[in-house]
Amino acid sequence: MHESESEESLPEAPPPKPGEEHPYVVLRNADFVRYLIGRFVASLGQQMLVVAIDWELYERTHSALPLAFVGLSLMIPMILCTLPAGHFADTISRKTIILVSTLVLTLSSVGLTLSSALKAPIAWIYVCLAVIGTARTFLWPASAAFVTSLVARHQLARAVTFTSGTFQISSVVGPAACGLIIVLAHHTAWAVYAINALASLICFGLVWQIKHVHIIKKPAPMTTRSLVEGFRFVFDNKIILGTLTLDMFAVLLGGAVTLLPIYAKDIFQAGPSGLGWLRDAMPVGAVICAIIIAHRPPLQKAGRTMLWCVAIFGAATIGMGLIIIPTAPWFWLALLLLAIAGAVDQVSVVVRQTLVQILTPDEKRGRVSAVNSLFIGTSNELGGFRSGFVAYLFSAPTFLGNANATGAIVSVVSGGMGTILVVIAVAWIWPEIRKFGKLE
């Protein structure tokens, strides 16, 4: 190992028996609390920023095409920078990477603020987005690997539950807060960007106060072998490879979020407010599930539980996709199914993130976390493209006399069915996942 044992090793003291430790004992860790609050504040600002950018681009161009370049501007830096980001997360102080990346995000938000306030050409928005995408690519693996050193090993699953739970809360609050701020700022987005810059500074200050420092005794040189070590480790570890594959294809096939505007307008006839309810249903379900998980002992059959949860996610997606009756009871049923999908997805996220960290040696955690981020990030973007493209291909006035509604239904239902097939395939190809036991 390159890191000093006193600074980086996870405590090896015997963990308490299930039920003996208070579910919130991890929050007595001052460093972890600073990290948790900083992550929440930064995530809240980022959630507001993404919504504001979409709103401003459409408001200024009245075209959907500029919106397509938003995901592209964020994804290209991720693909280009994933390998060096993982290498640096294992060879440079992870706290330093987090601080520098957060500062770059702050400056990018300032650039967006000025571009919006001065009505600069929208090309500058894409430049700022590319910088944000680059900073986030370096931030994510360093942050994921850093948190493992802040808590005891037996508390890692609970720490992951809290961190992913705070992200889901920001997903609920952020878009609503963004809309309110835009209205108060006379329908301009610059105020949202400025608030995000402030949120990044707050995160910077909180992380700065964390006492733990990731120390490298002898930094490894950047070689081709070192850069691809994360991929090599993932492909050699069947449990991690199967888990990441499961998550990637579940997101790629099962996501219905991209098509929720069609469901809100053309199927449920619920308008913008209905879209807001639909968008919030999954993160609300995830938050409720996170609270439940935090009060329970670590999962005893983690692998099997994850497989069942992803299968339920696919089934809930199919059920939501088949609802075509535009009446209030069916709308609320759709919300319930989306909430169930969000809840079981939260379980899957906790299992996946915990498995990746506990099965990876610390000197490789940055590179493996970078691979994990690449799998998630690209599947999110490509999943949105898949949903929209399939909906476009099958657009025909069959259901409700509306072509868009027909395409959306086919896309969502087929995606849910594909998710279930992926679960079956992963369980068959990687039986080690089914057999994985206690999440510690």
What is the value of pTM for the model shown? 0.74
Of the ranges 78-92, 365-379, 406-420, which one carries the lowest mean pLDDT score?
365-379
| CA-based nearest residue to 39, from 163, 177, 198, 201 | 163
Q: What does DSSP assign to residue 155? A: G
| Residues 217-233, mean pLDDT to the nearest whole number | 70
What digits encode the pLDDT tens for the residues 250-271?
A: 888 876 777 777 787 778 887 6
Of the ranges 14-23, 47-56, 267-276, which one carries the lowest mean pLDDT score?
14-23
Return d(Cα 99, Cα 102) in angstroms, integer: 5
Return d(Cα 408, Cα 260) in angstroms, integer: 9
Of the ranges 93-97, 173-177, 394-398, 413-417, which one carries the lowest mean pLDDT score?
394-398
Report which residue type is found at 27. Answer: L
Query: What structural domains and CATH numbers belong to the chain?
Result: 1-222 (1.20.1250.20), 228-440 (1.20.1250.20)
Return d(Cα 187, Cα 196) in angstroms, integer: 17
Residue with tokens 């579940």: 250
Does residue 217 have a pLDDT over 70?
no
Return d(Cα 440, Cα 40) in angstroms, integer: 25
Q: What does DSSP assign to residue 3? A: B
Alpha helices (runs of H) in 237-327, residue ranges in sequence order: 238-254, 260-262, 271-294, 302-322
Q: Among residues of the chain, what percentage have pLDDT more than 70?
A: 86
CB burial of residue 428 (10 Å; 0-12, 13-18, 19+)? exposed
More confident residue, 336 or 13: 336
Query: Measured between alpha carbons, how far is residue 54 from residues 58, 104, 262 in Å?
Result: 6, 21, 17
Cα distance from N-terminal residue to C-terminal residue, the chain: 21
| CA-based nearest residue to 257, from 346, 161, 334 | 334
Does residue 13 have a pLDDT over 50?
no
Residue with tokens 């969000």: 342
Within its chain, how far is the Cα of 152 from the centroid? Answer: 24
Residue 245, CA atoms < 13 Å, CB-side half-sphere: 20
Do the Cβ atoms of 99 and 204 come closer than 8 Å? yes
When pLDDT is cut at 50, 70 and 90, the band that residue 363 belongs to is: confident
Bridge partners (DSSP) listed for residue 216: 3
| Residues 342-367, mean pLDDT to the nearest whole number | 83
Do the Cβ atoms of 400 and 266 come closer than 8 Å? yes
Question: Helices 238-254 and 229-236, interaxial angle, to 10°?
Answer: 100
| CA-based nearest residue to 38, from 212, 211, 199, 214 | 199
What digits encode the pLDDT tens for the residues 230-254?
A: 788 888 888 888 888 888 888 888 7
Angle CA 397–403–405, to nearest 5: 110
Within its chain, how far is the Cα of 398 from the centroid? Answer: 35
pLDDT at residue 22, rounded to an integer: 67
| Residues 209-217, mean pLDDT to the nearest whole number | 72
| CA-based nearest residue to 32, from 209, 295, 290, 286 | 209
When pLDDT is cut at 50, 70 and 90, the band that residue 272 belongs to is: low
The highest-confidence range among 45-59, 90-104, 326-340, by mean pLDDT, is 90-104
What digits encode the pLDDT tens for the residues 304-331?
A: 999 999 999 999 999 988 887 767 678 8
What digits encode the pLDDT tens for the residues 33-59?
A: 999 999 999 999 998 898 888 778 877
Token output for 380: 């999110």
> Nearest 5°: phi and psi at 54?
-60, -45
Q: Dihedral sign, CA of 51, 53, 54, 56?
A: positive
pLDDT at residue 437, rounded to an integer: 76
